[in-house]
């Protein structure tokens, strides 16, 4: 799928799914609930929310949860990702560095990554914009 060529219906479905997922976020420490939705190669949508922990570094990001749901369901390619969190106007949510690498495992360089909040869609990027010159599965393919 070329960059940014995401049909409106799929974009709407991703947005609704990520907003719904965000409602179940467990974020008592940061008070920053996040929802993520991933479109897989079968056209299915998988969701995740952040799950924090009293031992702070053990918290899980919404994108990681959504990718785990995709893999569990048998999906192996992310075709689009949408993340919802508070922000806008210069501080739209974007995936953290660790999640950019996790997305790299299952996404092409032109993977669309869309940002949104509860009321609007924000900027959109490609994965390679967010994680240039990245290290990925191709670097360690079985010899
Ligand atoms: N978080 C996500 O789940 N995804 C992002 O894209 C950015 C940050 C979570 C981690 C933590 O639970 C909270 O948001 C604040 O950093």
pTM assigned to the model: 0.95
Atom of ligand 1 nearest to the CA of 65: 3
Give, using CA atoms, the residue closest to atom 9 of ligand 1. Answer: 61
Closest CA to ligand 1's atom 2? 61
Fold held by 3-133:
Cytidine Deaminase; domain 2 (3.40.140)
End-to-end CA distance of the chain: 29
Count of C-beta atoms within a 10 Å radius of residue 134: 14
Is 58 catalytic? The answer is no
Residue ranges of the domains in the chain? 3-133
- 129-135 contacts at long range (C-beta below 8 A, 24 or more positions apart): 130/94, 130/95, 130/100, 131/97, 131/100, 131/101, 131/103, 131/104, 134/100, 134/101, 134/104, 135/101, 135/104
Alpha carbons 109 and 13: distance in angstroms, whole number:
22
What is the pLDDT, as a whole number, of residue 142?
61
Q: What is the pLDDT of residue 73?
A: 98
State residue 3's pLDDT score.
42
Nearest-CA neighbor of 121 among 51, 37, 28, 63?
A: 37
* Regions of the chain with pLDDT less than 70: 1-4, 142-143
73 lines ligand 1 (CB under 6 A): no
The answer to whether the CB of 48 falls within 8 A of the CB of 65 is: yes
Q: What pLDDT does residue 132 have?
A: 98
**Amino acid 143: pLDDT:** 59
Are the C-beta atoms of residues 61 and 98 closer than 8 Å to each other? yes
């Amino acid at each position: 799928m070329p960059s940014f060529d995401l049909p409106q219906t799929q974009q709407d479905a991703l947005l609704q799914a990520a907003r719904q997922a965000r409602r179940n976020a467990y974020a008592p420490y940061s008070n920053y609930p996040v929802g993520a939705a991933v479109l897989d190669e079968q056209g299915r949508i998988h969701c995740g929310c952040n799950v924090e922990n009293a031992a702070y570094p053990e918290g899980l990001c919404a994108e990681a949860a959504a990718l785990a749901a995709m893999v569990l369901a048998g999906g192996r390619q992310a075709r689009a990702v949408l993340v919802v969190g508070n922000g806008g106007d210069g501080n739209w949510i974007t995936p953290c560095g660790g999640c950019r690498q996790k997305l790299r495992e299952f996404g092409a360089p032109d993977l669309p990554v869309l940002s949104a909040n509860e009321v609007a869609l924000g900027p959109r990027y490609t994965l390679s914009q967010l994680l240039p010159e990245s290290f990925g599965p191709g670097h360690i393919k079985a010899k």
